[in-house]
Amino acid sequence: MNEKNYEPKLEPEKWIERYSDVLFNYTISRINKREVAEDLVQETFFSALKGKDSYLGNASEKTWLISILKRKIIDHYRKKSTQNELSVFDKDSKDDFMSHFFDKEGGYQGHWTEGTSPQEWRKDFQTSVESDDFNSILQNCLGKLPEKSSTVFTLKNMEDLDSEEICKELQITPSNYWVLMHRAKLQLRECMEKNWFKK
């Protein structure tokens, strides 16, 4: 084939059949709300259709669609943050959170309350079923986090955004970012230990 005459080809009429499940599964693992995930997948197909002339063929059709979807997910979280739908914890919720994990008598200085200190995890994945179970429990635990903590954790660990970009997208300060990330990790660890590693 003469590469000079090669033009990357998209097949929009086959997108739903080929990629709807892949894109939905990708989204639901990051958004954790079915209706929102379905909407974002539809928006991705619509945006791809509108922008199909910009497809250069540097990536596969699937990879190109996922790159559009990633931007949709980030935009979704940015919009919620701008609309103040993702609020940072108030003082009362901060005190409740800190007293759950740390001893107030020690001034929250790293003295764990009974039963909340980190434990060594000795679980190995033996089968793909176990891996699927783990991912299901992880999603369930992410869904239990306050939404802004879940958002920060997801953007950092699933979308690979750096902390500066997350702060910019969500319009939060670096100190808020680190507080939210710290809380997300503590709560996720506790939830995963109860539901997976200590089962």
Mean pLDDT computed over every residue of the chain:
78
Domain boundary among 82, 111, 131: 82
Is the pLDDT at 29 greater than 70? The verdict is yes
| pLDDT range class, residue 147, cuts 50, 70, 90 | confident
**Residues 25, 66 within the same domain:** yes
Residues 153-174 have pLDDT tens digits of 999 988 889 999 999 988 889 9
**Which of the residue ranges 19-28, 49-58, 190-199 would you say has the lowest mean pLDDT?**
190-199
Domain boundary among 82, 112, 147: 82
Residues 91-140 have pLDDT tens digits of 445 555 555 555 565 544 555 555 555 555 555 555 444 567 777 888 88
Residues 20 and 14: their CA atoms lie apart, in Å, by: 10
Domain limits for position 39: 3-82
| pLDDT range class, residue 59, cuts 50, 70, 90 | confident
φ, ψ (nearest 5 deg) of residue 102: -125, 150
**Residues 41, 115 within the same domain:** no
Report the pLDDT value the prediction gives residue 174, as an integer from 0 to 100: 92
Residues 128 and 110: their CA atoms lie apart, in Å, by: 37
Q: How many domains, in total, are found in the chain?
A: 2
* CATH number of the domain to which 76 belongs: 1.10.1740
Domain boundary among 82, 102, 121: 82
- Say if residues 8 and 57 touch (Cβ distance below 8 Å): yes
In the numeric block, the tokens 């059709």 are attached to 61
pLDDT cut 90: percent of the chain above it:
32
CB atoms within 10 A of CB 60: 10
| pLDDT range class, residue 199, cuts 50, 70, 90 | low
**Residues 37, 117 within the same domain:** no
Report the pLDDT value the prediction gives residue 5, as an integer from 0 to 100: 45
**Residues 100, 193 within the same domain:** yes
Question: Is the entire prediction scored with pTM above 0.85?
Answer: no
Residues 71-104 have pLDDT tens digits of 999 999 888 877 654 444 444 455 555 555 555 6
